Amino acid sequence: MSLQDYLTRIGLRGAVRPDLATLNAVHRAHVETIPYEDLDVQFGAPVSRAADAAFDKIVARRRGGWCYEMNGLLGWALEEIGYKVERLAGGVERASRGDSAVGNHLVLIVTLDRPWLVDAGFGDGLIEPVLLKEGAFANGVMTCRLAQIEDGWWRYYNDPSGSAPTFDFHRDVTDEALLENGCAMLQTHPESPFVQNAVVQRWEGGEHLSMRGRVFQRLAADGKHQETVNDADEYVRVLKDRFKLDLPEAAALWPKISARHEAVFGARAEAAEERAD
């Protein structure tokens, strides 16, 4: 595990030091260069929370990853630079699911003169770190918000155009077992959204790119622009051209992706017809 190799992977040149300017630069370079993706779950390949495994996958093999890998690698790199990093067991949609959600998301806090929320693993989450304080903030083409809720918990509110609406975190909730259990469940449980759906996301400037199954989307200042991917060759091409993933073996996922697309959108079409009747 080499810090210089990581910095080369994200295209960041020059000296790095544990200050706010470097923190912002590393975070932005990470989310614009490395895609958020769950394709190993789709392949049935075990996903580890270990930082060295994330380094091998993301840096050496030039893949992407999900929250445990993206924030696991980022947290390691920031500590190598000299930052103080806290790893928290967060909960995506804890607002609706309760404490059973805690551990399904790895959240980072970096303390300089004040604490900063750092998160490269929410897919359409932060482009740059945000000061841990209440209020709305611009995040590329999105507007997000942080709020203190009950008993020391914080809630991140995603933009309405985003995917998951919220995640919660608490600076005292750092239980590694919660994160380990969350990582295991999300890659094996049949109702896990990562088991059900092939998802790839990346920031590009202030715009957000995503591909969920066959649907490619670009979220820009003038709204959402969507296209449907037509076949396995096009799927592999979009991964390479828009998400920087050279992964020809992803063509093998196409039957599963197509079946899921038909199940979701076919059901929606049938429901719309029933409402029309």
- CA distances for 197 relative to 73, 116, 200, 266, 272, angstroms: 23, 31, 10, 15, 22
Listed residue (227, 194, 221, 210) closest to 125, CA to CA: 210
In a domain, 129, yes or no: no
Query: CA–CA separation, 234 vs 60, rounded Å?
Result: 25
Report, as ranges of residue numbers, the positions in the chain whose pLDDT lies below 70: 267-277
pLDDT reported for residue 266: 76
Task: Report how many domains make up the chain.
Answer: 1
- The label of the residue with tokens 């260069």 reads 33
Counted residue by residue, the chain has a size of 277
pLDDT for 274 equals: 53
Q: How high is the mean pLDDT of the chain? A: 95
Whether residue 134 is contained in a domain is answered as: no
Within 10 angstroms of residue 215's Cβ, the number of other Cβ atoms is 14
- Looking at the domain assignment, is residue 4 inside a domain? no
Query: How does pLDDT run across 145-192, given as a tens digit for each residue?
Result: 999 999 999 999 999 999 999 999 999 999 999 999 999 999 999 999
Residue 137, in any domain of the structure = no
Does residue 123 lie within any of the structural domains?
no
Q: What residue numbers bound the domain in which 250 lies?
A: 193-267
Does residue 157 lie in a domain region?
A: no
Backbone torsion region of residue 40, taken as left when φ is above 0, otherwise alpha when ψ lies between -120 and 50, otherwise beta: alpha
Ramachandran sector of residue 89 (left: φ over 0; alpha: ψ -120 to 50; beta: rest): beta
Residue 248 lies in a domain: yes
Note the pLDDT tens digit of each residue in 224-254: 999 999 999 999 999 999 999 999 999 999 9
What pLDDT score was predicted for residue 271? 52
Question: Which residues are known catalytic residues?
Answer: 67, 105, 119
**DSSP three-state, residue 260:** helix
Residue 110 covered by a domain: no
Domain CATH code at residue 217: 3.30.2140.10
